[in-house]
Amino acid sequence: MQLNHPALVDLLKKAYSAEKAAAFAYQGHAGAVKKSDEKAAIRQIEIDEWNHRKEVLEIMNHYNIPVSRYYEIRFHIIGKIISASCYVIGWFMPFYFAGRLESGNVCEYFRMKQYFNSLGIKEHDSILYEMGIKEKEHEVYFLEQIKTNKLLPFFEKLFSWGNKQGFNNIDLDKKYPLEESDHYCKNKPTNPPGILK
């Protein structure tokens, strides 16, 4: 079956490759932090990103969507650069920009679900919902680490993410189940300005 939805096809290709970039970035981030609990948490997030890449590829294969060589090369380079930068930009910025990235990534998976549903396809709803929620959990983890840092108000004003701003409308404490999740990310940009993906 071919997907007659160019935006969905491109979003799948981009998400597949960008998950590799995120995983590479988290390798550097985990290597750069000193605390063992932070290392363990970030390594688990890296594993989650590799799992998301695998799940997205399975969906792409189902519809004979080829992997984009351009996105693969582009995001490979981006991921490696970010990974290396984690060793030189201090403790705060890797946590901040990881949280900002994850905030935008949440809506990619809910947008995919909405696109599929517009074609009458519901079979991927569960996995896309789970991946979107997992990205939200990542965002919450990173924000928790820096929410009282004195640099956060300045960065939030500059980059539009932090304690008061985000790129999705999901509250894990009041999480809607899959069947009631259609309103998530309806009015949120899939790729906020300056976000990795």
Contacts of 170 (CB under 8 A, 6+ apart): 106, 132, 133, 136, 184, 185
Residue 191 lies in a domain: no
Residue 194 lies in a domain: no
Q: Is the overall model pTM greater than 0.75, yes or no? A: yes
Would you say residue 192 has pLDDT above 80? Answer: no
Q: What domain range includes position 170?
A: 6-180
Angle, in degrees to the nearest 10, between helices 92-118 and 6-32:
160
CATH number of the domain bearing residue 22: 1.20.1260
Count of domains observed in the chain? 1
Residue 130 lies in a domain: yes
pLDDT, residue 142, reads: 98
Grouping H, G, I as helix, E, B as strand and the rest as coil, residue 144 is helix
The pLDDT tens digits of the residues spanning 70-117 come to 999 999 999 999 999 999 999 999 999 999 999 999 999 999 999 999
Cα–Cα distance, 150 to 171 (Å, whole number): 24
Residue 197 lies in a domain: no
Residue 51 lies in a domain: yes
Residue 124 lies in a domain: yes
Residue 20 lies in a domain: yes
Residue 187 lies in a domain: no
Q: Which of 119, 123, 114, 99 lies closest to 186, judged by CA? A: 114
Output 38 or 189, whichever has higher pLDDT.
38
Instruction: Scan for tokens 């995001």, then name that residue.
Output: 75
Rounded to 10 degrees, what is the CA torsion of 134, 135, 136, 138? 90
